[in-house]
Chains A and B, each alone.
Chain A
Amino acid sequence: DIQLTQSPSTLSASVGDRVTITCRASQSVGSWLAWYQQKPGKAPKLLIYKASTLEGGVPSRFSGSGSGTEFTLTISSLQPDDFATYYCQQYNNFPYTFGQGTKLEIK
């Protein structure tokens, strides 16, 4: 199975900051990687698919990059609504796997 490791596990930042979350895969997943945002008690929300394609309706301050085994999610200017937990997911092959999550907290 492909393991995904996110870093950091927790990130403290302020409104207006630029933040980057990294997702590393134990083997290549090509560009078959997605990013999700989840708030407490809610279902995850798709932000990015195919490593860098922005899902419709997602603000342009979110961007994704990478291929192979290293990927990043960047939020260019944090807004109050962005404080949440973020997950990466690979769908290069089954079983699909998720990273352990990165909790983005208000500093």
Chain B
Amino acid sequence: EVQLAESGGGLVQPGGSLRLSCAASGFNFNPYSLSWVRQAPGKGLEWVSHISSTRTIYYADSVKGRFTISRDNTKNSLYLQMNSLRAEDTAVYFCATDQRGDMDVWGPGTTVTVSS
């Protein structure tokens, strides 16, 4: 079964850092493009970042310079390093495959709370 599973969320103080992971299983991870998408409490979906199989990378302006996306094909894993966190980064973070651009497989999400 094709699956994604996020981990690494938690409570962090403003200005702090957190690293999210997304473990893939049930499919050949290497050729797939992936994205991170977040959803603030009670709000809509916001695309955060994308990495292709060739490591072409894009970021939303709201996280550019603070977040870094990466992947380790040997571990079938996607990562999001989040630095200089702000209260407005509080959200559920989802990873998703986006080989075509639409997002067909999603993880259940991990919650990040930025608060003092």
| Interfacial residues, chain A to chain B (CB-CB below 8 A) | 1, 32, 34, 36, 38, 42-46, 49-50, 55, 87, 89, 91, 94-101
Contact = CB atoms under 8 A, between A and B. Distances in A.
A43 B109 contact: yes
Contacts of A89: 45, 47, 102-103
A32 B101 contact: yes
A44 B106 contact: yes
Interface centre among B37, B44, B108 (most CB of A within 10 A): B44
Given A44-B103, A46-B103, A95 B44 contact: no
Nearest to B35: A96
5 contacts: A34-B103, A44-B37, A95-B58, A95-B61, A96-B50
A100 B44 contact: yes
B104 interface: yes
Contacts of A55: 104
B14 interface: no
Contacts of B72: none
Given A95-B47, A96-B35, A96-B50, A46 B98 contact: no
B54 to A, nearest CB: 15
Contacts of B100: 49-50, 91
Given A43-B94, A96-B35, A101 B44 contact: yes
Q: Which 3 A/B pairs are nearest by Cβ-Cβ distance?
A: A91-B101, A34-B102, A43-B106
Contacts of B50: 94, 96
B60 interface: yes
B9 interface: no
B46 interface: yes
Nearest to A89: B102
Contacts of A1: 61
A26 B79 CA distance: 32
Contacts of B60: 95
A105 to B, nearest CB: 16
A65 to B, nearest CB: 16
